[in-house]
Amino acid sequence: MATSPRTPLPDALTTEVVELIGEVVARFYEDYEEAAADHALTGAQARLLSLLSVEPLPMRKLAQKLKCEPSNVTGIVDRLESRGLVERRPDPADRRVKLAATTEEGSRVAKSLRESLRFAREPLAGLGEEERVVLRGLLRRMLRVE
């Protein structure tokens, strides 16, 4: 039986970078949950509202982006719809498909959510523009690696 080549153990620098990324993710998540709660939203509701503030999406696409079952998305959309933050509308390309879209109030709440996220903004403000450009480039490269 052939053996696959082993992935080398990470060096100390790589290990530290991975740990720092984990800490950034944890702090961002904590800040995001707090911002959502300030708007009487769950984290999942806030993430869905944020996605829809960019463009209306079908339920199946929302489920893929949120990495959950379509039935969960239906419940989240139902709750946001009852608050007047989201509406369902027919897809102009295929009237059998329903799109979820933010209402004017939903767009306002999504914008307020983005503006209330302090964790990412505060440390980034301490970096110069060139440093932020480099960081953005590195993060984009990392996200393209699968």
pLDDT in tens, 53-65: 999 999 999 999 9
Q: Write the pLDDT tens digit of every residue in 4-22.
A: 567 777 889 989 999 999 9
pLDDT of residue 146: 44
When comparing pLDDT for 30 and 121, which is higher?
30
pLDDT of residue 123: 81
Average pLDDT over every residue of 71-84? 95
pTM of the model: 0.76
Overall average pLDDT of the 33-50 stretch:
94
Checking if the pLDDT of 74 tops 90, the result is yes
Pick the CATH number of 27-139 from 1.10.10.10, 3.30.300.30, 3.40.640.10, 3.40.50.1820: 1.10.10.10
Q: pLDDT at position 44, please?
A: 92
pLDDT tens readout for residues 99-146? 999 999 999 999 999 888 887 777 888 899 999 999 999 999 988 864
Angle, helices 43-54/70-82, rounded to nearest 10 degrees: 90
pLDDT of residue 53: 94
What integer is the mean pLDDT of 46-52? 94
